[in-house]
Structure 1
Amino acid sequence: MLEIQSALSLAITVGLFVVKVFALIDCVRRPRIDFEIRQTLEKNAWLVILGLTVAAHLIFWSPLGLLNLIGTVAALVYLAQLRSPAA
């Protein structure tokens, strides 16, 4: 039972890390005009936020840590605002 729980925790941790890295790479590649069109934070602000979330995830590898949960929410908000179809 402990092996299953460990494997599940590792899968969640890696999955959330991939989401954060994907959001950071998307932010780096996205043109600045997209941020203005979507009326969201500036590109530099998102780069700092997403960069810190990836760094925090590397330092604190637990998926249920407070910083990792905040970072996951930030990455998901970024993806919802900038990857969703334009309204």
Structure 2
Amino acid sequence: MSVPSALVPQMWIIFAIWLAGIPTGLFAFVHALSQRADAFVAADKLSKNAWLGITGGATAVLALFQPSGTGALFWIAGLVASLVYLVDVKPRITDVQRGPRW
């Protein structure tokens, strides 16, 4: 079965998006791993262990599933979980550990 030539660029774009998702999830997991547990509580977020589970599971899903096909919904959920950590939790954790600004 050959792929129509019009779909080849789309396949490369989907492949590039898939490859970009894996480091995103991995970065979120490593960042959560390297933070102090009390910073999560001080930032009024879920616990460190909860975020390690969420970002670790998201990274596994991003690596195992593809953004197209039958696993697309799982892949999107993994990407959203990683992005929620990076956009919402990471800045709050960083601010809490930085302390008050004068």
TM-score range with shorter-chain normalisation? Answer: 0.7 to 0.9
Unaligned runs of 5+ in 2: 1-5, 97-102
TM-score scaled by structure 1?
Answer: 0.84
TM-aligned CA deviation for residue 10 of structure 1: 1.0
Q: 5+ residue gaps in structure 1? A: none
1:82: how far off? 2.6
Cα RMSD (Å): 1.8
Instruction: Name the counterpart of 1:84.
Output: 91
Identity of matched residues, %: 30
Instruction: Count matched residues.
Output: 86
1:38-57 map, 5 Å: 38-57=43-62
- Which entry has the higher C-alpha Rg, 1 or 2? 2
Equivalent residue of 1:36, what SS?
helix
Separation of aligned partners in 2, 1:39 and 1:74: 18
Q: 2:27 matched to 1:12?
A: no
* TM-score, normalising length: structure 2: 0.74
Counterpart of 2:91 in 1: which secondary structure?
coil
